[in-house]
Amino acid sequence: MKIKIPENFILGAATSAWQTEGWVGKKPGQDSFLDKWFQEEPFVWHQGQGPKEATNFMEMYQDDLDLMSQIGISHYRTSINWSRFFVDYENLIVDEDYASHIDALIDGLLAIGVQPIICLEHYEVPYQLMEKYDAWSSKKVVDLFAQYAQLVFQRYGDRVQQWVTFNEPIVSQTRCYLDAIRWPHERNSKKWMLWNYHKVLATAKVVKIFHEGGYSGRIGCIINPEMVYPRSSSQEDLDAARRYDLFYNRVFLDPMIKGSYPEELIELCKENDIYFDPTEEELALISTNRLDFVGLNQYYPKRVKSQRFAWREGEHFHPEKYYEDFQLPGRQMNQSRGWEIYPQIMYDLSLYMNRNYPDIPWFIAENGMGQENEENFKDQSGMIDDQYRIDYISQHLYHLLRGVEEGSKCEGYMLWAFTDCVSPMNAFKNRYGLVSIDLENDKKRSLKKSAYWFKSVIENQSFELENKM
């Protein structure tokens, strides 16, 4: 089956600053939260690999630009590392060495016809602000983030047309303070919800600055909504899925796109003593400064069933009070990553967006296939034959385009990731890139089979689908 790509449909790829840059040129005091976590707990990162070296992008970015040009991607998303952009976060003294690197990267992308999408915070909150203000617990940090954004717009706004405030703004606090599985391992569900709120507030402030500054282009945010499926059609299972959607998806999507929070979410927050106590002025700011577009990261379905047990009195709140995880029998799995593979999430996401947020443009900002021990898949020429990644991408892209045919406002698809890169704890264990990074050979780059396939999709604006799922 031949699948055609619509005209002007984005076919790009993404990474982030901290997952690629490495620490070359990083000055004392410029640690991000991720840098500090790696220093505190290097043993939880696979084989002790982390952001210290990453892919050596600071020195080797031109190699990656050459490969982007060869493949022909239309867009590349990365981030500016907030922790490296300044040498003084409160007096806003810019590190000109790092800022010049961003200048060169943006100019290099534009020179090869690749449109940059720049994220202001991809888990890169400066550790100094975490140590002094508890990071996103403080409205001081919200204001400093807005001032940082204003300086960035002034410097790069003449060339960058697409900006995003955060990538996956829910993740850091969920892992650190709700689930407490990442450093600093503090169980504090009220802080979790406060951080959620302050990132919404920070986004509204930055959107206001961008629009009032008269910059060309547009500004959005990248959310990672999980398409949540109830175990059954029972009311109890449907309630579990609805509440999961409220706590993990609509907590960002509704205020950022609609300008207000769902009433049921507010009631649940108050009932469980995790309400964030916004001021009327802040709610008005959120209401009137909404996103121009939204990027959506999507990898796997979330399946839930009703909670069978009463919540223990005195226990820290967790949304699991209202649901339990459900594993679909016979599901297809990515055994390396431990995630279910269900390409129809792309079509279902299109329906979800049409139903709940029909007016906002959106695109897939991340989707991809992680594979462990990829060196085992080399062919006789030494190229990684990652047919499994081609199959994964083509199936997901097919279902995404089904949604486009039915009227979704999806503008494109961006692959995670352009190159293999470091992930939290996982490090380089599971590889995601179109481009392989040889850790044993000075981070040498080479194209995988999927890169040549993606190149052909871009050139032909079509691909062959072997067996649809």
Q: Check 21, 121, 124, 366 and give the catalytic one.
A: 366
Backbone angles phi, psi at 381, to 5 degrees: -85, -10
Question: Inter-axis angle of helices 189-212 and 280-288, to 10 degrees?
Answer: 50
* Region of residue 273 (left: phi > 0; alpha: psi -120 to 50; beta: else): left
User: DSSP assignment of 425-466, as one string?
Assistant: TTBTSEE--SEEEETTTTTEEEE-HHHHHHHHHHHHTEEE-S
User: DSSP assignment of 314-336, as one string?
Assistant: TPPP-GGGG-EE---TT--EETT
Q: Check 21, 121, 124, 168 and give the catalytic one.
A: 168
Per the CB < 8 A criterion, the answer to whether 389 and 369 are in contact is: yes
Q: Is 168 a catalytic residue?
A: yes
Q: For tokens 């697409």, name the residue.
A: 162
- Dihedral sign from CA coordinates of 70, 73, 74, 75: negative
DSSP three-state, residue 35? helix
Could you tell me which residues are beta bridge partners of residue 464?
2
> From residue 318, how far is each of 6, 307, 315 by CA, in Å?
42, 12, 9
CA 402 to chain centre: 23
DSSP state letter for 378: B
What is the radius of gyration, based on Cα positions, of the chain?
21
Q: Give the residue numbers annotated as catalytic, written as ranges.
A: 168, 366
